[in-house]
Amino acid sequence: MKLLALEFPPISHIVEWPAFGWSPEGIFAINKVVFLGFLSVALTLLIFGIAASKAQLVPTGVQSVAELSVEFVRDQVVLQTMGEEGLHKKWVMPLLMALFWFILFNNVWGIIPAAQMPVNARMAMPAFLALLVWVVYNVAGVANQGLGGYLKSNLFPPGVPTALYILVTPIEFVSNFLVRPFSLAVRLFANLLAGHILLVTFAVLTSALIGASGFLKVIFPLPFVVLIGLTAFEILVIFLQAYIFTILTAVYIGGAMHPEH
């Protein structure tokens, strides 16, 4: 039976891509994932470049999309996590908007024909973004509270009996300075990788059953329907993971700027 001979590609063939012919192998190799990452940067810059250059009183097209996304991040992210003060920090909105759109574009490649590889399904990009967020919220915390005040608010939370600090302080250090960036990176990476593997699995199964005969050909619509459903679900995941990463970034920045009372 042909199905019994079905071979699914190993993980290395699903997420690892060789360098393009004009790009030598090595640290600075340009492969499919890197190229898609560059496209995400270009598209993020392009959408706001077009919106700014053709600004109209009544927005249409790209300007409408850009303004809706600005309103969404402002109302559903910044105001919900940092309040009005977040809007007074001139760097907060540009940072969160850039993160949201860049992550969204990186995610969406997983369902685009011919691309079919979310950039964030490789750990390097989520790890870089998480490290960037870690640097930003720590710098914001030190700038607003001073180094001593920032460390005190993070390592010695108020309301804890002094004797318990010997247990609480190491936990707070690990939680605030190590777990946060790690969880940001792993959450984004794991969700995109899992979705990518599921789509590849059912795409391979559907392709194999199309060429099968007899009963196997009859059940071909089943994995195909599942593939369509998974693709629709992946669209939701693509947006949701960009939103979660962005709102957690805002939460961490807001928490770093203001000590607990």
Reported as a single tens digit per residue, the pLDDT across 175-200 is 989 999 999 999 999 999 999 999 98
Q: Tokens 């097209």 appear where?
A: 61
Tell me what pLDDT residue 34 has: 92
Tell me what pLDDT residue 2 has: 44
- Banded pLDDT at 214 (limits 50, 70, 90): low
Poorest-pLDDT segment among 50-59, 108-117, 156-165, 173-182: 50-59
Average pLDDT, the chain: 87
**Total number of domains constituting the chain:** 1
- Banded pLDDT at 4 (limits 50, 70, 90): very low
DSSP track, 151-215: HHHHHS-TTS-GGGHHHHHHHHHIIIIIIHHHHHHHHHHHHHHHHHHHHHHHHHHHHHHHT--TH
Owning domain of residue 20? 3-257
Tell me what pLDDT residue 238 has: 96
Tell me what pLDDT residue 65 has: 87
Nearest residue to 124 (alpha-carbon basis) of 188, 39, 42, 176: 188
90, burial (CB in 10 Å: exposed 0-12, middle 13-18, buried 19+): exposed
Poorest-pLDDT segment among 25-34, 74-83, 173-182, 184-193: 25-34
- Banded pLDDT at 1 (limits 50, 70, 90): very low
Res 3 pLDDT > 60: no
Res 229 pLDDT > 90: yes
Going 204 to 195 to 30 to 13, the CA torsion angle's sign is: negative
Q: Which residue has the higher pLDDT, 29 or 11?
A: 29
Tell me what pLDDT residue 136 has: 96
Q: Which residue has the higher pLDDT, 133 or 83?
A: 133
Structure tokens at 91: 């760097």
Q: Which residue has the higher pLDDT, 49 or 9?
A: 49
What percent of the chain has a predicted confidence (pLDDT) above 90? 55
